[in-house]
Structure 1
Amino acid sequence: MKYTIALIFLFSVSGINGVQAQNEVVDSLKTLLQRTTNDTARIGIYAEMSYSSQDTAAVLYSDTAITLINLLLPKADKQNKIELHRYWSNALYYRSTYFANSESYDTALHYLNKAMEQALVAKDRLQEARILNDMGVCFYRKNDVVKSIDLFTRSLAIREDLNDDEQLYSAYNNVAFIYKETGLIDQSLELNFKALSVAERRKNKEETALSFNNIGQLYHKYLMDRSKALEYYKKSLAIAEKSGDKKAMSLAKNNIGALSAETGNYQEAIRWYQESLLLRREINYKFGIINTLSSLGYNYIKIASYNDARASLAEAMQMNVSLQNKVLQTSMHRNYAELYNAVGNTDSALFHATVSHNINTTVGNPLSISGSASMLSGLYEKVGNYTEALNFYKLHKKMQDSISNDDLKKEGIKSNIEYEYLKKKTVSDKIHAEQLAKTNLYTWLLIVLFVISVLIGYGLYKRYRLKQQLKEVEIRNKIAADLHDDVGSTLSSIRMYSDIVKQQPNQTGTSIQLLDKISSNSKETIENMSDIVWM
């Protein structure tokens, strides 16, 4: 049976997801295979069968697909070769998924590297991003956080370049989770806000509510900004209420309840937990019901409402008989120990504290072991068993030292990641500065070209106007010259006719004719002069 590979409950991880393939899916693919004669289509079906198989048949189907690909490749044209290399990459990728979900991470990485070779040949960048993401998950499971963050970041860069919002949301969450785990809270917060932006752009209410919740948790658990945490929890709650998502509503109410309890407002916390419990009962969310009942029990103890605490814890314990969740078990037994210690029943408190401690020891979480050992040390001291009290105190200190060493190791990882982050950020900032400088240069060039164009245009316009003016001057000069000739000729005629009139004073008829000609010539001259004025 396949196991789901995921980093955490709230920060989802895409890629290796161990799909719970059912026999019906494989059977339907087999039926489709029998009806298909096209070899390329058959390759695709075998690849899907590899992805959907729950056992070693995944490897068999992958091999069959690759065998067919190798038969077709030599005769395929350029376009078909690219398609076949893409199928080859998918077949290897699905095989790696089988091994990753079987927790054989080295084998999974081997096939992921081979899948990457084929993806590069096919120039399939989306496939490259998927493979890099799954490599990141494998290295994270192998506790190589530095390598994991490098691979996640490279996968994210491709998805950002492709502007693939559907993949970007989970990619941002993956890197944000790694940053959170290694103490790079500011960087984690930045990427969670980017994930939120993608979710809002896609108008995906579920993802938006989840991002608000993730941001709220960072402010709550790591940045200790309770007012900000409450703001984002309430934003998550508002979206969940609007969409009617009862599970998301109950989660937000639970988180607000925890926030209230931390500030000592236990009555307020109880109210939020009760509202969360009501929703979780409606959707029969058993894990959530048990978790909320246990939290209610703790808060009832804090306000000395011991009967309510006992009732809540008893119901939670009864429900967990079928679920058998160890995390919930240790929490309930610890709260029972708190209850019996509060009412003075130290023997019962010791019993439940011991059960809680034994579960913690089995799980192996140093922080949980430290807490239960500290409680047992105090209880044994209370009953006068100082030897056991000292032994558990020493265990508590040992676990604290282990936590400190783990923190030191985490600090080392954090330093490496922070160095890589700053190095990449420096390169990114340099590229951005160069791009900005180029943009500014292009802007100034455009401005200069515009100014030059305006000046050239203005110069050409002035030149055109000057030519027009010169043409007008030439026309006027020609008209003036013609007029000068006409006026000169007319004046000569007038003078000649005047002289003739003077010489014939007694010839009235002839004189009148000559005077008419003089008048006519004078009128013509005046009209020509008028033309010059109105030109």
Structure 2
Amino acid sequence: MAYATQAFDLALKLRDSSRIIRGGRIKSAELRRLEHIDDAIVMALYILRIARRHKDTTEIKSLLNSLGTSHILRGEYDQALRYQFESLVIREKGGNKKEISIILNNIGVCYYKLNDIPSSIKYFKRCLELKRESNDKYGLDRLLINIGLCVNEMGNYAEAIKYITEGLNSCDGKCTDQIILEGEIALGDTFYDAKLFSESLKHLKISYQIAKRIDNFRFQVENILYFARIHLIKKDFEMAIRYLNEAENISLQKGYKFLLIDTYEVFSKLFNEIKDYKSASLYLSKYIAYKDSVFNEKVTSNLAQLHADFEERENLKTIAEKNQMLSLREELIQKQKIQLALMAAIALLLTIVAIMLYKIYRDKLLINIKLDQKVKERTEELRENNRSLTTAYELQQSKILKVEKESLIILSSVSGLCHAARLELTDGRAKEYIQKVANNIDQLSPLFKKTKEGE
């Protein structure tokens, strides 16, 4: 506390707004820890005004949460919920699931104190869901214990013990004294409601010893009240009165209105039990007065208005989310329509391309068939021409051979005549001509013979 005060005073001297806000928040938290609740609220409100002026959202969230917790301790649940809901709205805008879960837990605690168990468990379950989504283990132990307390109020003691034990086990043997204290008193409360008073006392004593060791006066009083109730059931009125007096003294000193309500209620029951109706009436009037101060018409109206406002905001948020979903769905439908149209267009184009390709293929096939036919026709024509040429050639050759044969016969006849003429002629000149003719015939004969041999 001394360091927090020094840091805050230094920030004031330096006129450093960010340090003033941070230092003031820390000092307010320390005041609340030391259970100087009124001073903690005054400090937090002063710093909250500065933080709002500088629009320091991070510090505003923390200060609102701090104020909500302080007002819970004072039993001012309408104020507590107002600050917690405002903090929740800011944190939901930020979207940080871990931060949102902290506020949901605190709102659940507030509704638990108001004995609105359905609302309390609703916020605790929302908190648990967010923690599991974000794999957030911070505060899981306390949350499970709180859910156990709600389940206990609904009369399901076995399930309540299961939740509380799970909360204590979630620390893996490293629970803080505060968590062990809260878990043990929760078990004591559950066994008390189940009328297992010996088992209840065992856990309550562990919780009370830790509360004494760490100077947690609120939980000291809560344990003491259970001691008083159990001794009242056992008809040990002297011990019950002693515990109730101790609870009243601490509660008056610390300003625990909600604990004074419980204290005076037990006092009234005790004096009715011992037939001291005057004292019973006195404490009943105190009980009514304190309960009216905490749960008066104004507070009830504020709570109803806060609940209605927040529910309206939740409904509007739900409507907005549904509208957004509808808008997204409509957008998705439009996109799907466009996709279907594109797919249909692509399918149509592919069909057209396929038809064109088939047509081109068919045309090529027909052309190839026609070309093959023409090639075959041309080949046949060429073959026919070749056969005609061959026949003409052979005929020509036959004629040539015939002429050659006839020429050879004529040449042979002429050659024989020349030979006979040379024998018969006496004229030298005539012989000479005949000889030249014979020579020419001799020269021609080999040519015809060669042609014949070549054939």
Same topology, TM > 0.5: yes
C-alpha separation between the residues in 2 aligned to 1:146 and 1:326? 20
> Does the C-alpha gap of structure 1 residues 417 and 342 become closer, same or farther in structure 2, counting only changes over 3 Å?
same
> For residue 361 of structure 2, what is the amino acid of its counterpart?
Q
Compared with structure 1, are the counterparts of its residues 434 and 99 closer, same or farther at alpha carbon in structure 2 (3 Å cutoff)? Answer: farther
Paired residue for 1:389? 280
Paired with 2:384 and 2:157, the residues of 1 have a C-alpha distance of 111
Q: Give 1:426 shift.
A: 1.8
Tell me how far apart the structure 2 counterparts of residues 234 and 326 of structure 1 sit (CA, whole Å): 22
Contact (CA 8 Å) 1:330, 1:359: kept in 2 or not?
no
Instruction: Determine if the alignment matches structure 1 residue 239 to structure 2 residue 170.
Output: yes
1:328 is matched with 220
Q: CA separation of 1:414/1:60 partners in 2, compared to 1, >3 Å: closer, same or farther?
A: same
- 2:6 corresponds to 1:58: no
Q: What is the CA-CA distance between 1:98 and the residue it aligns to?
A: 6.0
Q: Which letter does structure 1 place at the counterpart of 2:127? A: N
Residue in structure 2 matched with residue 463 of structure 1 by the alignment: 356
Tell me the equivalent position of 2:412: none
Offset from partner CA, 1:277-318 (integer Å, 9 cap, x none): 4xxxxxxxxx65255xxxxxxxxxxxxxxxxxxxxxxxxxxx
Distance 1:152 1:390 in 2: 42
SS at match of 2:7: coil
Report deviation, 1:229.
3.1
1:101-500 to 2 correspondences below 5 Å: 103-116=42-55, 128=57, 130-134=58-62, 136-137=64-65, 140=68, 144=79, 148-160=83-95, 168-178=97-107, 180-182=109-111, 183=116, 184-185=119-120, 187-198=122-133, 200=135, 204=137, 207-221=139-153, 225-241=156-172, 244-245=174-175, 247=177, 251-252=182-183, 254-266=185-197, 268-269=199-200, 273=203, 277=206, 289-290=209-210, 323=215, 325=217, 327-329=219-221, 331-332=223-224, 335-336=227-228, 339=231, 342=234, 346=237, 349-381=240-272, 385-402=276-293, 404-405=295-296, 406-407=299-300, 409-494=302-387
- Report what 1:6 is aligned to: none
Measured against aligned partners, the alpha-carbon deviations of 1:444-489 in whole angstroms (never above 9, x if no partner) come to: 5335434543443343244334323323333332343233233234
Q: Which amino acid letter does the alignment assign opposite residue 12 of structure 2? A: V
SS of corresponding position for 2:170: helix
Q: 1:53 to 1:175 in 2, by over 3 A?
A: farther
**What is the CA-CA distance between 1:58 and the residue it aligns to?**
1.6
Give 1:188 shift: 0.8
Note closer, same or farther for the CA distance 1:260–1:343 as it changes in structure 2 (3 Å cut): closer
Question: Partners of 2:86 and 2:168 in 1: how far apart?
Answer: 34
Change (3 A) 1:257 1:329: closer
Question: Offset at 1:91?
Answer: 4.9
Which whole-Å CA distance do the structure 1 matches of 2:366 and 2:62 have between them? 85
Secondary structure at the aligned position of 1:55 is classed as helix
Aligned-partner Cα distance in 2 for 1:435–1:475 = 58
CA distance in structure 2 between the partners assigned to 1:145 and 1:324 by the alignment: 21
Say how many residue pairs are matched. Answer: 375
Gaps of 5+ in 2: 30-39, 72-77, 403-455
Give the aligned CA root-mean-square deviation in angstroms. Answer: 4.3
| TM superposition shift of 1:418 | 1.6
- TM-superposed deviation, 1:391: 2.5
User: Amino acid of the residue matched to residue 342 of structure 1?
Assistant: K
Q: 1:251 to 1:61 in 2, by over 3 A?
A: same
- AA in 2 matched with 1:289: Q
Deviations 1:94-148 (A, max 9, x none): 36636755633443223212332xxxxxxxxxx64x1441353366468645653
- Quote how far apart the aligned CAs of 1:422 are: 1.7
Q: Give the superposition deviation at 1:336.
A: 5.0
**TM-score (ref. length: structure 2):** 0.65
Q: What's the secondary structure of 2:54's corresponding residue? A: helix
Relative distance call for 1:489 and 1:338 in structure 2 (3 A) is closer
CA distance in 2, matches of 1:196, 1:426: 25
Give 1:441 shift.
Answer: 3.5
Q: Partner of 1:9 in structure 2?
A: none
CA distance in 2, matches of 1:383, 1:146: 40
Alignment partners' CA distance in 2, 1:447 and 1:469: 32
**Deviations, residues 149-181 of structure 1 (Å, cap 9, x unaligned):** 453234323432xxx5xxx32332113422552
Counterpart residue type for residue 376 of structure 1: F
In 2 relative to 1, CA 440–288 (structure 1 residues): closer, same or farther, beyond 3 Å? farther
